[in-house]
Chain A
Amino acid sequence: MSKLKTNMLATIHLGSEQMHMKIVQYNKEGQIKPIEHLSRSVNLGEETFKTGKVSFSSVNEVCNLLKGFKRLINEYDITEYKVVATTALREAQNKQYIVDQIKVKTNFDVQVIDVSEEIFLKYKILFKNLYESGFIPQEEGLLFTDISSGGLGITLYKNNSIQYLQNINMGTLRIKENFSKNQRESLHFLNALEEYIYSVIEVIANIICNYKIRYLVLSGVETQLLLEMLKRNIDKANLIIEHIPLRKFKSLYNQVKNKNINQIMHEFNLTERKAEIAIPTIVLYNKIINLTEVDKIIILQVDLVDGIVHDIIDRRINSSWLTSFDKHIVSSARMLAHKYSYDQAHSESVECHSLFLFDKLKKLHGYGQRERLFLQISSILHDIGKFVNLRRHYFYSYRLILSSDIMGFSDEEKEIIANIAYYHSKSVPANSDANYAELNDEAKVTVSKLVAILRLADALDASHNQKIQDLDVTLKANKLEIIVDAREDISLEQWTFAQKSCFFEEVFGIEATIRKKGVMNGALR
């Protein structure tokens, strides 16, 4: 019998309202064949939003279900699987206990992912699907709107890059819990809801109305509900992309308007739970449609588990999508830098130098693509704090990075990037700084190593004049020599370099020196 091991993968998503599992088969070309898709309603989100905690009885229910999922995983002899949880666990005060209970009872390691990771995972799968069906326009805008029970993610893609990105803590369940049952059942509810939603998304509104957007891409569990209400016969065989003409959506909105929950339940044959979630979804979408004057609505039948599946497989097969999505991440960081009026030329110069050094010093730091990306992003953003104040600008850079939505990073990773930026100028990483002390050991080392490189790169453009035209390095014994090609005088750069390179030696135990091409030795240290 052929014992060729099939490449199979299972991913599980513990959502607020549903638990999903997807089992797929994939090959080296990245072709994916779905084997099983399970989805079962659970009530985690409501509990967390109401009480702040997930009850142990719910955990038992979840564990029983997970044991069932495990049966299937064993059935197919699958060794590669991943369990991910979102809002319901993310926001539960007893998150750690729940994760621990699940581990004890089912032996699953649950990874609770951040909002931005969640949105990025979904964004990637949406983008991939659209791209593969020839749907990504060159210049016209695509507005990705992802609504989940806990959050709303808005991503604007135009001219091959991310133009705008904002994640808001306003999901359907959260909206629902914001109003009392009486309020929800009142006839004025819809009106109040519209005003409430507008008050939250006003800022976004002011920005996105400046862009010409062609397609609105909707996703999220609630979006399936929209399809249901539009009575689209979903042909499961050729799923994925659904187009909704604008007028169809408008007529749905008009149908829903002026009706209370009971009437909506009746008219669309929905359960109360679904109806209560349907209303905010439709109102929100309507608001966004009004803002953007889009031509077309696209709904994709993909959800987070698909995103995770693709993410894992892309890494496994080292797909070209990895670099393409890194480009999206970088573009989103540039967009952020642009928002804070950065010195683009300096930023690009630092980015270029630090990546050059990173690549040349691979043996020294031993890092891979992910860390390279941290360095790249912090190089781009290292000076944005100057927008707030020139004094202690590194501190404001740190703050701004932490409080901005940058595509594709978890909160922990953002901490790393922000810390790198923090130490780019004066001070060096020290446990006396709260921001550094909070990091775990591994992250501290990452920050320090990348800071050491960033400081050198920053020194190379100390004058912000991009004097250095070319760069080369030699690494011999315990000495790193950077040979720069510049026509102008680079004294400032050399002095700054001397000052900033101490930390490099501290981290790597290697002395770094700078030498102008053509000038032998005798250079300043």
Chain B
Amino acid sequence: MVLFDRPENFINRELSWLQFNKRVLEEALDKNNLLLERLKFISIVSSNLDEFFMVRVAAIRQQLEAGLNKPDPSGLTPKEQLLQIAKTTHDMVKKQYRCLKNILRSLTKEGIFFTPASELTNEQRAFIDQYFYETVYPVITPMAVDASRPFPFLANRSLNLAMLLQSSQGETLTAVVQVPSVLPRIIELPQVNDTHHFIFLEEIIKLNSSKIFTGYTIKSTAAFRITRNADLFLDEEETDDLLTEVEKSLRQRRWGEPVRLEIEENTDKQIHNFLSSALDVNVDDIYAINGSLDTTAFMKFSSLDGYDYLRNPTLIPQHPEALINKGDLFEAIKEKDILVHHPYESFDCVLEFVKRAATDPNVLAIKQTLYRVSGNSPVVQALAQAAENGKQVTVLVELKARFDEENNILWARRLDEAGCHVIYGLVGLKTHCKITLVVRRESDEIFRYVHLGTGNYNDNTAKFYSDLGLFTANAQFGVDASTFFNVLSGYSDPPLWNKIEAAPLGLRKKLYNLIQNEIDYSTSENPGHIIAKMNSLIDKDLILKLYEASNKGVTIDLIVRGICGLRPGIPDVSDNITVHSIVGRFLEHSRIFYFKNNGDEKIFLSSADWMTRNMDRRVELLFPVEDKDNMKRIKEILAITLSDTLKTRILQSDGTYKRVDKRNKNIIESQLEFYSMAVEAIKEQTKHNSKDKLFQPVYKKAE
């Protein structure tokens, strides 16, 4: 009997995440990518790290402070984890800024300059001074720090300048100026010889610092940035009103303990010491930055006008193949289950589904779960409209969706006011599943239409997250969906489901059973086969179950974009397991599970990653795809994903990721492949159309 549960069989969650961020950084480093795309990746590396520090590092820190020093499955104690995180992150940040420098240097060849203070033209300098006076000065608040004036409270992720001042009498003083977040971070300067010049806001302030503290000389200045613990703490059991509780804790978030201090490299020693003691951060948590702090500003910058040739051409989402030449959406769904692959295929059909339901006189009720939606979301608008049209609308709004809480409260109120029945989440659980139910009365009968997805009902992220969605009018799905909403509303206890499986109820067990089933069927002549695509795999028990399956000869292909705690290639433990990871232009987000089941293949889609939180502390759904054509299509999607050579990295048993050996292989970029498939499908269909329906008169639409 092989012992699977040994520390060396697992990869630490945080280190695995850092590996993921490294893969993102590699995209920035990759000279095959276009310059502004690379800049975008630089920005993503930073925003990823921000969240990592605010949530993960903060959590480990808290564990440690609470006196917990229990090792994780890979045998690392929190203390050891923090050490390794610091070491890896310091290296990563150095690499990131070296890369940024290279990119910026390359951009100068394209006529894009980030001008250092020393190279400003007179005209530019005059512009800067005027900009400072007119725009910046009115919104800054300089704060001196001394015995009577304590170090000010600085908001999480805010950029600040520390200054060392000297009075005419010779006494020194420290002061802090917040770089106003209301102003654009990157400002364009007057052009020089048709080249574009830019400067950072903090540089403008620095250049004019003497005007802020009149009567003092500025000895030195340094930009710095604080990251704080930003996880919400809710006492859900004790609260009647989740809405106000979330609001309250949101205010607290800004006050969390500092977990990281980023500071300009070569900062004056005095300022350095002043900041580190005032903020009480360890040496390891101080990141000396060789460049501009907070590169998240480059995200917006990368969409700079006039430089399309430095960006990937926009891939316009196509009309879904299954809906081509289909008039009525409900009719089409009733005819056949419809599978949609975003963002290659447009998310509009999902919006259309809700919008149609909102105005259709036959629709009795709409029910939907919402996790993250875009600002001014058309989904929210449609739901509100539906309620105003007298439909019964039930919406579960997950207030606790991290970093979206503020947004969520706003539109939860909006829905409430419109007359929707709003459920503000469930005590102790985050509702992460994505399901919409439309109840319709057609002549004399009740019909239910269901949409289930792997991605959020967010029209913005749907443009760059790869997700799958299924529309169905299958009565058994309908009953399940109705009951599911009754369970969420607290009207019913969980039943035995017809088709779906839900966490935290039976999902974990269902997955065990599915894996066990492969083990049971697996023989040396006819080994079992599992393909599982997800964002993260860290649940220890599921990993152990996969080890058991591998050990029994089941072939397991995993496609895990982010964290993966499973270590492949260990003899007798995981030598039948491969782990692919794709970091590409679109964020891989779909969760797909394939089981060979001795030839009677089973395919499921899900909202859940294989993380402990998804299995035990979230409301998630897993649902089968049963239509033969749709199954075929998903198998094709999996096959193409697994054959990707360009954006795939393969996890090695030492925990590192290596690119695919491209020798003797066609170069395949799966995401582009999917896109061209979507385009081809449209072309194919319209070609037929041009013959069949060349003359298509338009009459007044029949009711």
Contact = CB atoms under 8 A, between A and B. Distances in A.
Interface of A: 1-2, 4, 6, 8, 18, 21, 25, 33-41, 65, 68-69, 71-72, 74-77, 234, 236-237
B365 A4 contact: no
B362 interface: yes
Nearest to B482: A36
Nearest to B498: A236
A333 to B, nearest CB: 40
Which of A2, A75, A234 is most buried by chain B, counting CB atoms within 10 A of its CB?
A75
A310 B491 CA distance: 23
Given A1-B362, A71-B421, A234 B496 contact: yes
Contacts of A39: 492-493, 495
A37 B483 contact: yes
A2 B482 contact: no
Interface stretch (B263-271, B439-447, B621-629): B439-447
Interface string B306-339: 0000000000000000000000000000000000
B361 A1 contact: yes
Contacts of A75: 364-365, 392, 439
Contacts of A36: 482-483, 486
A68 B483 CA distance: 13
Contact of A76 (B362, B446, B486, B493): B446
Given A6-B441, A39-B495, A74-B392, 16 more contacts: A1-B703, A2-B444, A21-B491, A35-B482, A38-B486, A40-B490, A68-B491, A71-B421, A75-B364, A75-B365, A75-B439, A76-B364, A76-B365, A76-B439, A234-B496, A236-B495
A4 B443 contact: yes
A35 B493 contact: no
Contact of A77 (B364, B444, B482, B483): B364
Interface of B (DSSP majority class): mixed
Interface string B360-372: 0110110000000
A1 B702 CA distance: 12
B115 interface: no
B364 A38 contact: no
Contacts of A72: 486, 491
Nearest to A239: B496
B491 A6 contact: no
Contacts of A35: 446, 482
B686 interface: no
Contacts of A38: 483, 486, 491-492
Contact of A25 (B392, B446, B492): B446
Interface in B426-470: 439, 441, 443-446
Contacts of A76: 364-365, 439, 446
21 contacts: A6-B441, A6-B444, A6-B445, A8-B446, A18-B493, A33-B445, A34-B479, A35-B446, A37-B483, A37-B495, A38-B491, A38-B492, A39-B495, A40-B490, A40-B491, A65-B491, A74-B392, A76-B365, A76-B439, A234-B496, A236-B496
Interface residues of B, number: 27
A6 B486 CA distance: 22
Contact of A68 (B364, B441, B490, B495): B490
Given A36-B483, A75-B364, A41 B493 contact: yes
Contacts of B498: 236-237
Contacts of B489: 68, 71
B424 to A, nearest CB: 15
Contacts of B482: 35-36
B476 interface: yes
Given A71-B392, A237-B476, A25 B486 contact: no
Nearest to B361: A1
A71 B486 CA distance: 11
Contacts of B362: 1
Contact of B444 (A4, A37, A71): A4
Contacts of A6: 441, 444-446
Nearest to A41: B493
B310 to A, nearest CB: 53
Q: Which residue, B441, B492, B496, has most C-beta atoms of chain A within 10 A?
A: B492
Contacts of A1: 361-362, 703
Nearest to B442: A2
